[in-house]
Amino acid sequence: MKAKKSFLVILCLLIISGLFSCKGPKQDSNEFTPTKQQKAEDAIKSWMFENNEYPHYKPIVFGDINARYERSDRTLQLMTMIEQEEALSKEEGNTEKLDSLKTLLNSNLGELLGYIMLHKFQSADLAGEPLEMECLFFLDTTFRVASVLSPESFDLILTEKVFFRIDPEN
């Protein structure tokens, strides 16, 4: 009986020491996590290959990803104050207030609408001739392509929110 109790005590001690020495699953510190730029490029490539609008698609170059924010009353007020202060600081040379206003604007960007990215690629026309094209891609916050515009349309829409509405069916 005494040997059985000793055996159980030793077994319990081994189990407890094993539990405390266990560090759990190993976490691989070299695990790859894609950047926003890479996520956007992958989303655009997938969209282009799935879309029949651009036959024989071949990527050439991707621009930098830029976040798009909906401007609130506060951000518009700060932008106006920055413009006024820039005009004054040119005359006076005092940039402390201007720097603080820019810092405040950077911390109050507004609601994230999505991202935009320029992409230059090669496609083919109806005759099969290669064409170099450049488009502005609008991606939502989940990196889905929401809209694609030609360079001629860039300046007309840069303040619009409509391109970032998420489809209710998805």
Whether 162 shows a pLDDT value over 60: the answer reads no
139 and 125 in a common domain: yes
- Does 159 fall in a domain? yes
Percent of the chain with pLDDT over 90: 19
| Number of domain units in the chain | 2
Under the banding of pLDDT at 50, 70 and 90, the label for residue 97 is confident
Rounded Cα distance, 49 and 128, in Å: 17
Tokens for 46, please give them.
Answer: 């997938």
Output DSSP code: residue 95: -
119 and 60 in a common domain: yes
Could you tell me the maximum CA-CA distance found in the chain, to the nearest angstrom?
97
166 and 116 in a common domain: yes
162 and 81 in a common domain: no
101 and 120 in a common domain: no
- Does 142 fall in a domain? yes
135 and 88 in a common domain: no
